[in-house]
Structure 1
Amino acid sequence: MGRYVLRRLLQLIPVFIGTTFLIYVLVWAIPGNPFAGMCGERPCPDSFIASMTDKYNLNDPVIVQYLKYMGSLLTGDFGETYSGLEVGELISLSYPVSLRLAVVAVAIEAVIGITAGILTGLRGRGFLDNLVLVSTLFLIAIPTFVTGFVIQIVLGFQLEIMTPTVSSDAEWGELILPGFVLGSISMAYVSRLTRTSIAENRRADYMRTALAKGQPKRRIVGVHLLRNSAIPVLTFIGTDVGSLMGGAIVTEGIFSIDGVGGLVYDAILGKENYIVTGVVVVLVIVFLVMNLIIDLLYAVLDPRIRYD
């Protein structure tokens, strides 16, 4: 196991370099001068544009720009915005909020989605199965911003069960409903994926062997069926963490959450390329770490998998 972990960590290095280089090129290859609109209605002086271009190394070839950026990044320096603010500080202020929101969303999609999938997968076709299939299809078909607005209007303004917006502290309890909105589509996919995986594994040879041996039904379901059926579900949930953190722009906007989504949105409007690049680099790290954890959990769920 130790050699496998070391090999996987070494494999992450070229993946990280390749993805971050691609991100850097795509962000900084956007046509137009990012400093052109910084002086209001009047055009910026040539001296100002020249100094800003030199400060952000835009005169260098893109590979040189990337190497300088990565050199600063390895020291913990994410660069500065055009107004002189530290990008690393902005990310450190907004990222914990989005991380808590993503954790709540993943917990909701895992608990509700897996439970619904297990119940429908074990019972087979019936009223509950049809209800879950219809409700999950309904959630998948409705855009996230529609779900968010409906919940906010009904529960926030009409029934007054919740506050329509999240406070600046963004405590865990306040993030339950935004987390449900953010994870609603993924919850539907988890439910369907769990149901399908269980239905397929119920007909597997090892299930018939366990039944022929006379093992208790609880052991057959808990040890053999659910553990093997959890592998594709675990893969989906693990990779969904980074997606939820990066795709929370709409949900954070609806509930006025000061997270990464709003930070990226404002950065795109203001052409703050260093903020966009820094946030996406952090998301890449989250994806890589989660994939490594998922690979290690495969051996825990399925004893047939061994890392030699």
Structure 2
Amino acid sequence: MGRYVVRRLLQLIPVFIGATFIIYALVWALPGDPFAGRCGDRGCPPAYIAEMTEKYNLDDPVLVQYFKYLGQLLQGDFGETFAGVQISQLVADAYPVTIRLALVALVIEAVIGIGAGILTGLRGRGFLDNLVLMSTLFLISLPVFVTGFVLQVVLGTELGIIKPSVSSDPGIGELIVPGFVLGSLSMAYVARMTRTSLMENRRADYVRTAVAKGLGPRRVVGVHMLRNSLIPVITFLGTDLGALMGGAIVTEGVFNVRGIGLLIYNAILTKEGATVTGIVTLLVLVYLLMNLLVDVLYAVLDPRIRYD
């Protein structure tokens, strides 16, 4: 297992370099003036443009710019905004909120999605199965911002159960409804995936063998069938954590959550290329590490999988 983890970590290096280079090139190599509108209606003075061009190495070829930026990243320096604010400080202020929101969404989609999938996958077709299928189809059909707006109006404005906008440093309780909204789409997919996987494994040979050996239903389901059925679900949940953190832009905007999503949205509006590059690079790193964790969990869930 140790050798496998080391090998996978080495494989992540070229993937990280390739992904971050594409991000950097898309942000900085596109045609146009990166300082357009930075000085209001009038154009920026030549001295300001020259200073900023030198600061962000814009006179160098894109490849040289990228490796200079990569050298800064390896030292923990994400650069500065055009206003001179450290991007690492902006991320440090916003990231804990987004992490809490993403974890709440992940727990909600895992508990409700897997629970609904297990109930329908074991019971087979019937009223409960049809109810879950219709409910998940309804969630899949609705855009996230519609779900968020409806819950905000009904639970916040009409019933007064929640605050329409969360506080600047929200706790877990305030993030339950935004977390449900953020994870609602993935929750529907998890429920359907778990249901399908369980229904397929119910007819597997190892399940029939376990039943024939006289094992109890709980042991057959919990030890044998469920562990194998959850492998695709764990894959989805592991990679979805990065997607939840990157896809929180809409949810954070609806509930005024001051996290990474709102930060990157404002950076796009103000054309803060350094901020966009730094945040997306961080999300790429989260994706890669979560994929590694999922691969390691495979061996825990399925004893047939061994890493030599």
TM-score by length of 2: 0.99
Q: Give the percent of matched residue pairs that are identical in Structure 1 and Structure 2.
A: 70
Letter aligned with residue 87 of structure 1: I
Q: Which moved more, 1:7-16 or 1:296-305?
A: 7-16
- 1:155 alignment counterpart: 155
C-alpha distance in 2, partners of 1:55/1:300? 49
C-alpha distance in 1, partners of 2:31/2:122? 55
- 1:74 alignment counterpart: 74
Q: CA deviation at 1:28?
A: 1.0
**CA-to-partner distance for each residue in 1:6-44, whole Å, 9 max, x for gaps?**
111111111111111111111112321111211111111
C-alpha distance in 2, partners of 1:79/1:289? 23
- 2:125 alignment counterpart: 125
Per the alignment, in what secondary structure is the counterpart of residue 41 of structure 2? coil
Letter aligned with residue 253 of structure 1: G
Mapping of residues 189-200 of structure 1, within 5 Å: 189-200=189-200
- 1:270 alignment counterpart: 270
- 1:2 alignment counterpart: 2
Per the alignment, in what secondary structure is the counterpart of residue 203 of structure 1? coil
C-alpha distance in 1, partners of 2:52/2:36? 11
- 1:186 alignment counterpart: 186
Letter aligned with residue 26 of structure 2: L
Letter aligned with residue 184 of structure 2: S
C-alpha distance in 2, partners of 1:200/1:31? 52
Per the alignment, in what secondary structure is the counterpart of residue 133 of structure 1? helix
C-alpha distance in 2, partners of 1:201/1:27? 46
Q: CA deviation at 1:211?
A: 1.5
**CA-to-partner distance for each residue in 1:137-171, whole Å, 9 max, x for gaps?**
00000000100010000000111111111001111
- 1:146 alignment counterpart: 146
Letter aligned with residue 48 of structure 2: F
TM-score by length of 1: 0.99
C-alpha distance in 1, partners of 2:34/2:13? 31
Q: Which runs of 4+ in 1 moved over 6 A?
A: none
C-alpha distance in 1, partners of 2:30/2:161? 45
Letter aligned with residue 6 of structure 2: L
- 1:304 alignment counterpart: 304
How many residues are aligned here? 308
C-alpha distance in 1, partners of 2:88/2:44? 27
C-alpha distance in 1, partners of 2:179/2:30? 33
- 2:166 alignment counterpart: 166
C-alpha distance in 1, partners of 2:302/2:43? 63
Letter aligned with residue 57 of structure 2: N
C-alpha distance in 2, partners of 1:141/1:262? 24
- 1:114 alignment counterpart: 114
Q: CA deviation at 1:49?
A: 1.1
C-alpha distance in 1, partners of 2:132/2:228? 22
Q: Which moved more, 1:13-22 or 1:183-192?
A: 13-22
Letter aligned with residue 137 of structure 2: L
Mapping of residues 1-308 of structure 1, within 5 Å: 1-308=1-308
* Structure 2: stretches of 5+ with no match in the other structure: none
**CA-to-partner distance for each residue in 1:57-114, whole Å, 9 max, x for gaps?**
0010011000100111111110010011101110111011101000000000000000
Per the alignment, in what secondary structure is the counterpart of residue 57 of structure 2? coil
